[in-house]
Amino acid sequence: MKFRVLPEIFEAFPGLRVGSVIAKGINNRGASPVIRHSIQRTQEGIRFRFNHESLTNHPKIQSWRNAFVSFGAKPKKHRSSVENLYTTAVDGKELRSINKIVDIYNYVCLKYMVPVGGDDLAKVDGDIVLRFAQGGEVFTPLGSDEVQTARKGEVIYADQNEILCRRWNWRESEKTKMTEQTQDVLLVSEGLPPVGREEMEKIVEDLSQLVEKYCGGKVTSTVLSSEESECDI
């Protein structure tokens, strides 16, 4: 099994860096009060630093808004995952705890202001590929049983059978959601300029260490770019 980013994505989004953290044999049961406290503290800092206007105008948010516009998504309707989490904080809403691995990647998303997501590898069919949709690929949104289809040209994560995340990082799928029973995961962090390789390497290292500390397992990581666009899972 491999995780691949097709060359067309790097061509369309110069400077893109994709951090990959593969964790196998994790214990995702229970909750971590430390991570929950870290999320709450980080949300408080976000509320102090941002309002809706300053959030929208931040370079790390603007880069994702521009990316979404480029493949036909409307930023006001389809927010990137990082803008969605930051908006939740600015609105004064507490981020709901899901499970340890999801809480960890949400914390890293908030800490570094980059999208982070993931998939339960036991539920994946074949390779995971970040690519443009051909149109018509099927997708079942997280928390729903409604089957949707992708529009041609939108950025998607997909396995050999269906979409795992639609509109790049806008909505994850029900198929590969992570639960307390999850043991093997691929976590992905995404950086468009102004995020560079050095920052992405720091993000990947932090994410890896948090997973090892609170979930255990064997953790490996890499940063994909136009020079190195795939890794083994």
Give the three-class secondary structure for 34. helix
Closest CA to 135 of 158, 103, 105: 158
pLDDT band with cut points at 50, 70 and 90 for residue 113:
very high
Closest CA to 12 of 145, 132, 128: 132
Strands (E), the chain: 2-5, 17-24, 116-120, 128-132, 138-139, 148-149, 155-158, 163-166, 171-172, 184-191, 218-224, 230-232
Closest CA to 81 of 57, 116, 50, 41: 116
Cα 68 from chain centre = 15
Percent above pLDDT 70 for the chain: 100
Q: What is the mean pLDDT of the chain?
A: 96
Q: In this model, does residue 161 exceed pLDDT 90?
A: yes
SS (H, E, C) 151-164: CCCCEEEECCCCEE
What whole-number distance in Å separates Cα of residue 208 and Cα of residue 221? Answer: 7
What whole-number distance in Å separates Cα of residue 59 and Cα of residue 109? Answer: 15
Superfamily of domain 2-31+98-232 in CATH is Phenylalanyl-trna Synthetase, Chain B, domain 3 (3.50.40.10)
Mean pLDDT of 193-221: 98
pLDDT band with cut points at 50, 70 and 90 for residue 120:
very high
Residue reference for tokens 């041609």:
152
- pLDDT by residue (tens digit) across 50-93? 999 999 999 999 999 999 999 999 888 899 999 999 999 999 99
Query: Domain coordinates of the chain in residue numbers?
Result: 2-31+98-232
Q: In this model, does residue 220 exceed pLDDT 90?
A: yes
User: Which residues contact residue 105 at a Cβ distance below 8 angstroms, ignoring those fewer than 6 apart?
Assistant: 116, 117, 118, 187, 189, 207
